[in-house]
């Protein structure tokens, strides 16, 4: 994959070595704490060095993650984490690039980028913390919110069916699709590590409860269960499984075999030489 | 739940104590950030207890200061039996709530060790598991005593007259 | 009659007529013969089959402006060509050439008093198997201009991949037909010198590469697409990367991501795309990530007239960013300056760790010209980078305002680039003191910029000043070259940060200022009034696109003041 790993014999880093001393502002009880923990565990498992990892995000609760790590971080504008990560990875294929997002940032304002990042299949790991709500703007419905969830902005519910990120990822060409649960940071860490190892665009949807605006999501812990069958590499079977599962199947659900996006240029001409074509 | 050796058992116990310690420390940090100093302090104390316990395991086993990484065990629960779940925290929580969390964790730990001791394990593991279960039982009692010394949470303790804030 | 310093000819026709191909060959032939030249184009909205006109000016002097009128309008057919009448001004002395088989020229052209001469293009072409009327027209035009037949043939050999021999034969027939038509008497070519044949978009693309750009994110938009299409293979040759983005929101953010990774980055767009990129340009300012956006302006607002020029994105480029967001805006003021200005913009972006907008326009971008070989600058400007170490502060409050930037991969210097306000370490902060300090730092970088002579082209002396920017500079220069006594030209190249002290010095002793720009509301005038003190009486000469200014209009406006 061309990614840098620790030299053999170099001291292994612990998860805490990937955690910065800047304190998260998430609400106590928020699933995102756990996802942060899972990311740091995954990076330790992968024996990466913080300076060779970039964590890119947009705007929202989940997108605060970069600064909470000791990796290189980029906290950009709302919805545009994937393009930033795409540019970074295309220009610097040697880096391990993780992208953090939420259901509002990633599926609504950044929805178009999601489709095209899946399709482009760069070797990125896209971690979306899905809590079915806009938390940072105080509880508006997001693309994954249930149609009957009532809120100030949509009294009585939106009446709109939920967006199905995993199916969309599959249809758009993502090469690895997993669902994780924040309440299981170790399992989540293992899934993230596997996603990083898998070539191409890896999508990890993390069910990450919002205890402030969706306290009922604490019940998710009783609803999640390991995916009953191993990941398939057949998109047709994966589509059927993703379309019909209960939304709480946790594990790797699809592992594709598409080659990752690779740039096909290693030109070494000088810029001066390019002037020839203009000479009259 | 095969536990083939004393080393294996103690490594598990160590990982369990360490994770419990880390989680309490994280809780303390979160509540500090959210200005609930009293409960933060309580979690710091609980973290210290678990750290001590972990340290004792190292000493007993004669292991060097710290294994680089605790072995990753697939616990039968989502996390280690003594680790409090992230979502149990609330920014307005009272000391009693912290102790309720701790009580549950100690009870789970006790049961975990009892289950190992009751299983088909080598005598040395059985012996160690019973000792650990006893220790956890003591902790359970300690927490219960502690609970008698803190006030009952006032009714509607989680009510906040202000709505959540918009930050971005 | 004296020999002409330049001749202007237009070749029009509808789809399939091949007027652009013939126009390009005429430009090549002129170049081969030792002349300078310029070709601009206009076309209908159809993707295929629409009416189009190639507009050429062949001259003994360099320049990228159009003349007051065309000496010759040649048409292969007249279908809808009348739509371009405003872009194809004729004079009583002009000549209209048309194929009698295609009917009479429209009244909108003949009312100029221009003489009509029928030329049997179709019939002549039909005499040669595999020949096209556009090649006959090419021969006719080359003939009446007086270009050597050898140049015509050389141009055809260079350009034609198929039908070469019949094409050359047809051009020769046309060339012979010209003997019966009035000749244009173009002066002999100037002494040979190093010349380039290039479009403004290519020049900007090449300038970007010279400036060090090695990552480009591309989303197609007229009239910037050719810039991106030039860069796709060119970047690959020098080991760079181009990614086609899903939209402009993506392209600007991809460029920011790549630049954050240490690779100088660029994207090119036009007005609607610039509007989409604006939010993220603010991010580039706040996070101090260098990036260059070339805006090849077209008429707006909205889709406007997407294929035609206007200088109406000035306000957006200067003031469109949210918050107080100091950044760089550079405007090339000639076709070949697209190279130097873009290269300079890359250097400024890299040196100041700031977004830079290059305001080109459709006229400069899509014009193809024979220009003096540009003087190429020295090595690309390197970004100030950090080597890491204890206590690294990405946004350290340095006296220069520029702080060393750690490139991912550098140990001991990890930080988070953030659009949130932050302290020196890069940690988000909502403290008034951090905001003030970082705002001061970001402003300081630009305030301390010393652009040297590059800030503007200042030409001539006088107590009247003609102040302009961008593609209006060409016709302004020509107006003053004709009769510029007492008039000083100031064409701004660095629009932001504004250089009030420099303009004040340049305008010392000036009593009248004529502000020239191509937009409806006078955006440049308002900018000048906001950022500078203009001496004496100020007048505005402006109109929206798509019609370019012609030198006589500018001369006329100055004459009303009695200065020229």
Interface residue of A19, A20, A28 to substitute, partner B, most B CBs within 10 Å: A28
Give how far A65 is from chain C: nearest CA, Å. Answer: 10
Contacts (Cβ under 8 Å, ≥6 apart) of A267? C235, C236, C237, C238, C239, C240
ipTM of the assembly?
0.95
Q: What is the pLDDT of residue B71?
A: 52
Residue A90 to residue C259, Cβ atoms within 8 A: no
**Does residue C202 sit at the A interface (CB-CB below 8 Å)?**
yes
Query: Hey, which residues 12-51 in chain C have their CB within 8 Å of chain A?
Result: 31
Nearest to A87 among C217, C237, C428 (CB): C217
Domains of chain C (ranges, CATH numbers):
6-180 (3.40.920.10), 197-372 (3.40.50.970), 384-449 (no CATH), 454-559 (3.40.50.920)
Residue A76 to residue C280, Cβ atoms within 8 A: yes
Chains that touch C (3 or more CB pairs under 8 A): A
- Which residues on C lie below 8 Å from A59 (Cβ)? 419
Domain that holds residue B18: 6-149
Q: Determine the Cα–Cα distance for residues A103 and A133; give it in Å rounded to an integer.
A: 7
Q: What is the mean pLDDT of residues C280-301?
A: 98
The residue among C59, C72, C130 whose CA lies nearest residue C98 is: C72
Percent of chain C with pLDDT over 70: 99
Q: What is the mean pLDDT of residues C472-499?
A: 96
Indicate whether A3 belongs to any domain.
no
Q: What is the pLDDT of residue A8?
A: 44
Indicate whether B46 belongs to any domain.
yes
A-C C-beta contacts closer than 8 Å: 191
In chain C, what is the straight-line distance between the N-terminal and C-terminal CA atoms, in Å? 24
Q: Which residue has the tokens 């710290």?
A: B66
CATH number at residue A249: 3.40.50.970
Q: What is the pLDDT of residue A11?
A: 62
Indicate whether A4 belongs to any domain.
no
A-B C-beta contacts closer than 8 Å: 81
DSSP C376: P
CATH number at residue B38: 1.20.1260.10
Residue A221 to residue B91, Cβ atoms within 8 A: no
Indicate whether B167 belongs to any domain.
no
Q: What is the mean pLDDT of residues C47-67?
A: 93
Give how far B123 is from chain A: nearest CA, Å. Answer: 30
Per the structure, the count of domains in chain A is 1
Cα–Cα separations (whole angstroms), residue B19 to B27, B48, B79? 12, 12, 9
For residue C505, give the H/E element and its range. helix C500-506
For residue B28, give the H/E element and its range. helix B6-33
Give how far C101 is from chain A: nearest CA, Å. Answer: 37
Give the mean pLDDT of chain C: 96
Q: Determine the Cα–Cα distance for residues A254 and B104; give it in Å rounded to an integer.
A: 37
pLDDT band at C564 (very low <50, low <70, confident <90, very high): very low
Q: Determine the Cα–Cα distance for residues C115 and C197; give it in Å rounded to an integer.
A: 32
Q: Taking an 8 Å Cβ-Cβ cutoff, which residues of chain A contact chain B?
A: 11-12, 14, 23-31, 33-34, 37, 44-45, 59-60, 136-139, 181-187, 190, 209, 211-213, 218, 221
Strands C328-330 and C494-496: antiparallel
Q: What is the pLDDT of residue C562?
A: 65
Q: Which tens digits make up the pLDDT trace of C236-249?
A: 999 999 999 999 99
Residue B77 predicted with pLDDT over 60: yes
Query: Hey, which residues 21-40 in chain B have their CB within 8 Å of chain A?
Result: 26-27, 29-34, 36
Indicate whether B1 belongs to any domain.
no
Residue B72 predicted with pLDDT over 70: no
Q: What is the mean pLDDT of residues C39-54?
A: 87
Q: What is the pLDDT of residue A1?
A: 33
Q: Which tens digits make up the pLDDT trace of C292-341?
A: 999 999 999 999 999 999 999 999 999 999 999 999 999 999 999 999 99
Q: 3-class DSSP state for residue B148?
A: helix
Q: What is the mean pLDDT of residues C124-149?
A: 96
DSSP C180: G
Domain that holds residue A258: 15-278
Q: What is the pLDDT of residue C16?
A: 81
Q: What is the number of alpha carbons within 13 Å of residue A275 lying toward its C-beta?
A: 14
Nearest to A86 among C202, C243, C373 (CB): C243
Q: Are A112 and A119 in contact (CB under 8 A)?
A: no
Chains that touch B (3 or more CB pairs under 8 A): A
Indicate whether B160 belongs to any domain.
no
Give the mean pLDDT of chain A: 93
Give how far C221 is from chain A: nearest CA, Å. Answer: 18
Max distance between CA atoms of chain A, in angstroms, equals 75
Higher-pLDDT residue of B133 and C388 is B133
Strands C195-199 and C368-372: antiparallel
Give how far C541 is from chain A: nearest CA, Å. Answer: 35
Q: What is the number of alpha carbons within 13 Å of residue C191 lying toward its C-beta?
A: 1
pLDDT band at C357 (very low <50, low <70, confident <90, very high): very high
Q: Which tens digits make up the pLDDT trace of C504-541?
A: 999 999 999 999 999 999 999 999 999 999 999 999 99
Q: What is the pLDDT of residue A6?
A: 39
Q: Determine the Cα–Cα distance for residues B40 and B32; give it in Å rounded to an integer.
A: 6
Residue B164 predicted with pLDDT over 90: no
Nearest to B164 among A44, A181, A212 (CB): A212
Q: What is the number of alpha carbons within 13 Å of residue B54 lying toward its C-beta?
A: 22
Contacts (Cβ under 8 Å, ≥6 apart) of A228? A249
Indicate whether B155 belongs to any domain.
no
Q: What is the pLDDT of residue B1?
A: 60
The residue among B70, B108, B113 whose CA lies nearest residue B88 is: B108
Residue B90 to residue A29, Cβ atoms within 8 A: yes
Per the structure, the count of domains in chain B is 1
- b/e B33-53 (16+ beta carbons within 10 angstroms → b): ebebeebbebbbebbebbbeb
Indicate whether A64 belongs to any domain.
yes
Contacts (Cβ under 8 Å, ≥6 apart) of C244? C217, C218, C219
Q: What is the mean pLDDT of residues A84-97?
A: 97
Task: State the alpha helices, DSSP H only, in B34-122.
Answer: 37-61, 95-118
Q: What is the pLDDT of residue C561?
A: 83
Indicate whether B124 belongs to any domain.
yes
Indicate whether B112 belongs to any domain.
yes
Indicate whether A6 belongs to any domain.
no
Indicate whether A80 belongs to any domain.
yes
Residue A139 to residue B75, Cβ atoms within 8 A: no
Find how far residue A219's CA is from the centre of its chain: 23
CB-CB neighbours of C64 under 10 Å: 26
Cα–Cα separations (whole angstroms), residue C291 to C32, C315, C353? 39, 19, 8
pLDDT band at A264 (very low <50, low <70, confident <90, very high): low
Indicate whether B166 belongs to any domain.
no
DSSP C471: G
């Amino acid at each position: 994959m061309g990614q840098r790993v620790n030299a053999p014999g170099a001291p292994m880093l612990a998860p805490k070595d990937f955690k910065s001393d800047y304190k998260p502002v998430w609400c106590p009880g928020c699933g995102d704490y756990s996802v942060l923990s899972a990311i740091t565990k995954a990076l330790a498992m992968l024996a990466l060095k913080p300076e060779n990892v970039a964590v890119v995000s947009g705007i929202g609760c989940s997108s605060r993650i970069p600064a909470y790590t000791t990796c290189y971080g980029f906290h950009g504008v709302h919805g545009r984490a994937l393009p930033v990560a795409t540019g970074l990875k295309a220009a610097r294929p040697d880096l391990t690039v993780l992208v953090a997002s939420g259901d509002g940032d990633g599926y609504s304002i950044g929805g178009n980028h999601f489709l095209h990042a899946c399709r482009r299949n760069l070797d990125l790991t896209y971690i979306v913390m899905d809590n079915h709500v806009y938390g940072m703007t105080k509880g508006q419905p997001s693309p994954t919110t249930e149609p009957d969830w009532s809120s100030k902005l949509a009294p009585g519910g939106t009446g709109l069916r939920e967006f199905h990120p995993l199916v969309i990822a599959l249809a758009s060409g993502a090469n690895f699709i997993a669902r994780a649960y924040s309440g299981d940071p170790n399992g989540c860490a293992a899934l993230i590590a596997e996603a990083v190892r898998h070539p191409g665009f890896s999508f990890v949807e993390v069910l990450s409860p919002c205890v402030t605006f969706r306290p009922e999501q604490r019940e998710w812990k009783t609803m999640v269960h390991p995916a009953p069958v191993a990941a398939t590499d057949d998109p047709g079977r994966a589509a059927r499984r993703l379309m019909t599962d209960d939304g709480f199947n946790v594990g790797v659900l699809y592992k594709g075999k598409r080659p990752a996006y690779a740039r096909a240029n290693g030109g070494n001409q000088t810029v001066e030489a390019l002037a020839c074509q203009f000479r009259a | 739940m095969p536990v083939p050796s004393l080393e294996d058992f103690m490594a598990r116990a160590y990982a369990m104590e360490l994770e419990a310690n880390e989680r309490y420390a994280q809780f303390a940090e979160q509540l500090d950030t959210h200005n609930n100093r009293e409960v933060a302090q309580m979690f710091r104390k609980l973290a210290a207890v678990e750290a001590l316990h972990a340290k004792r395991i190292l000493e007993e086993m004669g292991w060097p200061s710290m294994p680089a990484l605790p072995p990753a065990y697939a616990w039968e629960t989502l996390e280690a039996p003594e680790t409090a779940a992230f979502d149990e925290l609330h920014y307005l929580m009272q000391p009693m709530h912290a102790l309720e969390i701790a009580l549950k964790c100690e009870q789970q730990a006790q049961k975990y060790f009892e289950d190992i001791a009751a299983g088909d394990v080598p005598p040395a593991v059985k012996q160690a598991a019973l000792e650990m279960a006893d220790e956890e039982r003591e902790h359970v009692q300690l927490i219960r005593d502690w609970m008698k010394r803190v006030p009952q949470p006032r009714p509607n303790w989680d009510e906040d007259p202000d709505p959540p804030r918009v930050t971005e | 009659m004296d020999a002409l310093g330049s001749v202007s000819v237009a070749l029009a026709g509808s789809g399939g007529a091949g007027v652009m191909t013939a126009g390009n060959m005429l430009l090549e032939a002129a170049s081969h013969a030792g002349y300078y030249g310029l070709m601009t184009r206009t076309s209908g909205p159809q993707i295929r089959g629409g009416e189009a006109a190639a507009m050429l000016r062949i001259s003994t002097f360099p320049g990228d402006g159009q003349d007051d009128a065309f000496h010759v309008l040649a048409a292969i057919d007249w279908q809808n060509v009348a739509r371009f009448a405003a872009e194809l001004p004729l004079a009583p002395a002009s000549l209209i050439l048309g194929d009698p088989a295609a009917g009479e020229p429209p009244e909108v052209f003949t009312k100029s008093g221009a003489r009509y001469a029928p030329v049997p293009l179709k019939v002549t072409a039909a005499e040669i198997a595999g020949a096209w009327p556009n090649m006959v027209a090419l021969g006719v035009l080359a003939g009446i201009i007086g270009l050597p037949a050898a140049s015509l043939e050389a141009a055809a050999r260079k350009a034609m991949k198929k039908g070469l021999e019949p094409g050359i034969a047809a051009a020769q027939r046309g060339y012979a037909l010209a003997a019966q038509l009035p000749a244009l008497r173009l002066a002999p070519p100037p002494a040979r010198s190093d010349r380039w044949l290039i479009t403004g978009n290519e020049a900007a693309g090449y300038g970007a590469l010279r400036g060090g750009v090695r990552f480009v994110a591309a989303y197609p938009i007229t009239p910037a697409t050719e810039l991106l299409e030039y860069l796709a293979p060119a970047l690959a040759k020098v080991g760079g990367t181009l990614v086609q983005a899903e939209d402009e929101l993506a392209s600007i953010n991809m460029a920011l991501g790549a630049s954050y990774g240490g690779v100088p980055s660029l994207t090119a767009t036009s007005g609607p795309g610039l509007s989409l990129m604006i939010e993220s340009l603010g991010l580039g300012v706040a996070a101090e990530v260098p990036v260059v956006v070339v805006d090849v302006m077209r008429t707006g607002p909205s889709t406007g007239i997407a294929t035609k020029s206007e200088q109406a994105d000035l306000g957006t480029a200067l003031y469109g960013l949210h918050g107080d967001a100091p950044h760089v805006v550079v405007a090339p003021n000639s076709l070949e300056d697209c190279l130097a200005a873009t290269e300079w913009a890359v250097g400024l972006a890299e040196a100041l760790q700031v977004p830079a907008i290059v305001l080109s326009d459709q006229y400069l971008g899509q014009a193809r010209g024979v220009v003096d070989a540009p003087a190429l600058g020295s090595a690309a400007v390197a970004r100030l980078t950090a080597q890491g170490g204890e206590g690294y502060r990405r946004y350290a409050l340095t006296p220069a305002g520029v702080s060393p930037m750690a490139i991912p991969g550098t140990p001991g210097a990890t930080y988070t680039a953030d659009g949130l306000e932050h302290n020196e370490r890069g940690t988000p902060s909502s403290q008034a003191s951090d905001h003030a300090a970082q705002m001061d730092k970001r402003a300081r970088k630009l305030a301390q910029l010393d652009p040297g002579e590059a800030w503007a082209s200042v030409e001539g002396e006088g107590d009247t000043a003609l102040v302009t920017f961008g593609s209006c500079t060409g016709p302004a220069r020509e107006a003053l070259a004709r009769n510029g006594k007492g008039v000083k030209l100031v064409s701004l190249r660095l629009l932001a940060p504004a250089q009030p002290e420099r303009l004040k010095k340049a305008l010392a002793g000036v009593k009248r200022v004529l502000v020239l720009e191509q937009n409806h509301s006078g955006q440049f005038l308002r900018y000048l009034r906001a950022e500078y003190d203009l001496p004496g009486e100020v007048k505005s000469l402006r109109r929206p696109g798509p019609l370019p200014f012609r030198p006589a209009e500018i001369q006329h406006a100055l004459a009303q003041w009695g200065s020229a």
